Amino acid sequence: MSDSTITVRGWLGADVQLRRAGDVPVASFRLACTPRKFNRRTESWSDGQTQWFSVNVWRALAEHCAASLRRGDPVVVHGRLETRSYVNADNVEVVSFEIDAIHVGHDLSRGTSVFTRATRPEQHPPAPDAPEAAA
């Protein structure tokens, strides 16, 4: 199987929405990516057309994104790219781009961040099935 992986950087369009799919946490957010190009002739920068991606994040990464990211944050997202098509209310076929994220983080070229390591639940050794009889 050949997945299409992509790495994009952009800005969160809204706060992260956290929900559950069964027992598994899932976070979703919209990511806006606007390319900038430098025109050497005019010596000025111009913005290209903004591209919007829907990003889905699963399990512990979903909870970490919900706790760490806010609307307007600059982020870098790496994951599998998927396209979805549907017909909207105006009977127009629309193609959307979704990223099933594997890695998400703040874009440190835009500012600083403070990392807090997540704590894992303590693992207890299994109890013995039965006490051994004294010989």
- CA atoms within a 13 Å half-sphere pointing along the CA-CB vector of 116: 6
Predicted confidence at residue 126, as pLDDT, reads 66
- The answer to whether position 119 is within a domain reads no
Q: Phi, psi at residue 4, to the nearest 5°? A: -95, 110
- The answer to whether position 74 is within a domain reads yes
Locate 9 and state its tokens: 């950087």
Locate 126 and state its tokens: 């299994």
- The answer to whether position 9 is within a domain reads yes
pLDDT tens digits, one per residue of 61-116: 999 999 999 999 999 999 999 999 999 999 999 999 999 999 999 999 999 999 99
Predicted confidence at residue 79, as pLDDT, reads 98
3-state secondary structure of 63: helix
- The answer to whether position 21 is within a domain reads yes
- The answer to whether position 123 is within a domain reads no
Reported in sequence order, the residue ranges of the chain that DSSP labels E, i.e. its strands, are 5-12, 17-21, 24-33, 36-39, 44-47, 51-58, 74-87, 93-106
Average pLDDT estimate for 49-58: 96
Domain span holding position 14: 5-106
Locate 21 and state its tokens: 């799919």
- CA atoms within a 13 Å half-sphere pointing along the CA-CB vector of 85: 3
pTM of the model: 0.80
Q: Give the chain's domain count.
A: 1
How far, in Å, CA of 10 to CA of 72, rounded? 9
- The answer to whether position 64 is within a domain reads yes
- The answer to whether position 23 is within a domain reads yes
Indicate which CATH number applies to the domain containing 40.
2.40.50.140
pLDDT tens digits, one per residue of 7-50: 999 999 999 999 999 999 999 999 999 999 999 999 999 999 99
The residue among 115 and 120 whose pLDDT is bigger is 115
pLDDT over threshold 90, residue 121? no
pLDDT over threshold 70, residue 1? no
Predicted confidence at residue 122, as pLDDT, reads 72
- The answer to whether position 40 is within a domain reads yes
